[in-house]
Amino acid sequence: MQQFEVKALKAQSVVVLKLDAASSDDARNQATQQGVRVISVHALRQGWMPAWRAQRFNLVLFTQELLALLDAGLSLIEAVETLAEKAHDESQDVLRKLTESLYQGQSLSQALQHFPQAFPELYVASVRASEKTGDIVPTLQRFVTYQQQADTIRKQIISASIYPAVVFVVGIVVALFLLVYLVPKFSRIYEDMNSDLPFLSRMLLKWGSFASDNMSLVLLGIGGMTALAIYAASNAQARARALTLLWRIQSLRERWYLVQLSRLYRSAGMLLRGGIPAVTAFSMVGGLLHPTLRPRLDKAISRIREGQPISLVMQSCELTTPVAVRMLRVGEKSGKMGDMMERIALFYDEDTARWVDVFTRVFPPLLLLIIALFIGTIVVSMYMPIFELAGGLQ
């Protein structure tokens, strides 16, 4: 059983329920049986779990709750004020200030602009466009769908990387244990046999002698490399350089290219459906792309501004695939370019999901085999002197 916090609407007011349930669906059913209309459900962190990660403003949760309240008949300012009253973390401060801005007569998009750390430019632009057409609810629903699809792809990629990462780390730890602890001990035993051993065994035992005589230097080197790896993982520039190196691998570059195109078309499609012009939409989503693709998008934007067809421009700037080009042409003929771009993003997402599935089936066993061969070579090289001694005794 786990504890869930349920925000629900009861008699035009929001109530917060804390329920013990087996799942979020179970918690939702329990709340519904109490005669309330559920707005959102999320699991509470257990008391024994460390609170090392700072909470961030949950934009998707805020949008879902806002949609539920608007659908229940509350006005925009009443809905935001209600959410501010029931918030219990740092988001409460953002929502209270947002409510104050609305009471001062600012539009929702103007009020959102005061909090760029919570509301990204895409979100604000979508809301601003919806205010002109009066369809804010469909716009917010599109954003929720957009964010959920993007999160799904990100989670698939992260999940596919966890097991190989664990296998790699465990393999490195085992190899270091052998090279730093066991091999130096074996090297002292076989000091007089070096000339009679195979090449790999001699090299391994030489390393063992060096590590035994300079253990502090070896440990210092391992500690330095570990600190360097942690720094690289936490540094944005280092991650960008590592990503640039990965781009040199053909298969990974093709997959990452499709992920980037999916992000481009999904974001631009959402803005186009919200009524934002194509040039403005592409200009706003440029920051979401990898730096190597941004010059191509800038070139495409200048050509679109000149009046060239989007399908022709995206093809000439290498920001699409043969299938996507045909879909863009259909979108130009039907006048539903936003819908077609979102379909292109969905097509790319499905292709990426299939590749991730194959990757999770093939790569981890292959990585495990490579690590096993490496560790096996070390072990066999260590025990080779024993085999030599046994042969000499016979």
- The rounded distance, in Å, linking the Cα atoms of 39 and 61 is 10
Among 31, 25, 29, 35, smallest CA distance to 6 is for 31
Looking at the DSSP bridge assignments, the partners of residue 348 are none
pLDDT at 50: 42
Single-letter code of the amino acid located at 354: R
pLDDT at 52: 38
1-53 CATH pick, 1.10.20, 3.10.20, 3.40.50, 3.30.390: 3.10.20
- The rounded distance, in Å, linking the Cα atoms of 88 and 43 is 14
- The rounded distance, in Å, linking the Cα atoms of 283 and 277 is 10
- The rounded distance, in Å, linking the Cα atoms of 121 and 115 is 10
**8-22 as b/e: b if 16+ CB within 10 A:** bbeeeebeebebebe
SS (HEC) of 33-90: HCCCEEEEEEECCCCCCCCCCCCCCCHHHHHHHHHHHHHCCCCHHHHHHHHHHHCCCC
Tell me how many degrees the CA angle 313-315-316 measures, rounded to the nearest 5. 65
Q: What is the CA radius of gyration of the chain?
A: 29
pLDDT at 325: 92
pLDDT at 45: 56
Domain boundaries, the chain: 1-53, 150-234+368-393, 250-352
pLDDT at 51: 40
250-352 CATH pick, 1.20.81.30, 3.40.50.410, 2.40.30.10, 3.40.50.300: 1.20.81.30
Single-letter code of the amino acid located at 121: E
Calculate the alpha carbon distances from 224 to 4, 180, 235 in Å: 43, 15, 16
Number of other CB atoms surrounding residue 53 within 10 Å: 7
pLDDT at 385: 67
Single-letter code of the amino acid located at 109: S
End-to-end CA distance of the chain: 65
pLDDT at 193: 56
pLDDT at 31: 78
Residue 122 buriedness (CB in 10 A; 0-12 / 13-18 / 19+): buried
User: Both tokens of residue 295?
Assistant: 């010059």
What pLDDT tens digit does each residue of the chain (394 aa) get?
567 777 776 665 667 777 777 677 777 777 787 777 776 677 765 544 444 344 567 888 888 888 888 888 888 888 888 888 877 766 788 888 899 999 988 888 889 988 888 888 778 877 887 887 777 888 888 888 878 877 887 787 788 788 888 888 888 888 888 888 877 777 776 665 555 667 777 777 788 778 877 888 888 888 888 888 888 777 767 776 776 776 677 777 788 888 888 888 988 888 888 788 889 888 888 877 877 888 999 999 999 999 899 999 999 998 989 989 999 999 999 888 988 998 998 888 888 888 888 888 888 888 889 988 988 888 887 777 666 665 555 5
Q: Contact 50/131 with Cβ under 8 angstroms?
A: no
Q: Contact 392/196 with Cβ under 8 angstroms?
A: no
Given this chain, do its domains 1-53 and 250-352 carry the same CATH topology? no
Residue 116 buriedness (CB in 10 A; 0-12 / 13-18 / 19+): exposed
Q: Given the DSSP bridges, would you call strands 13-21 and 37-43 parallel, antiparallel or unpaired?
A: unpaired
Strands (DSSP E) found in the chain:
2-10, 13-21, 37-43
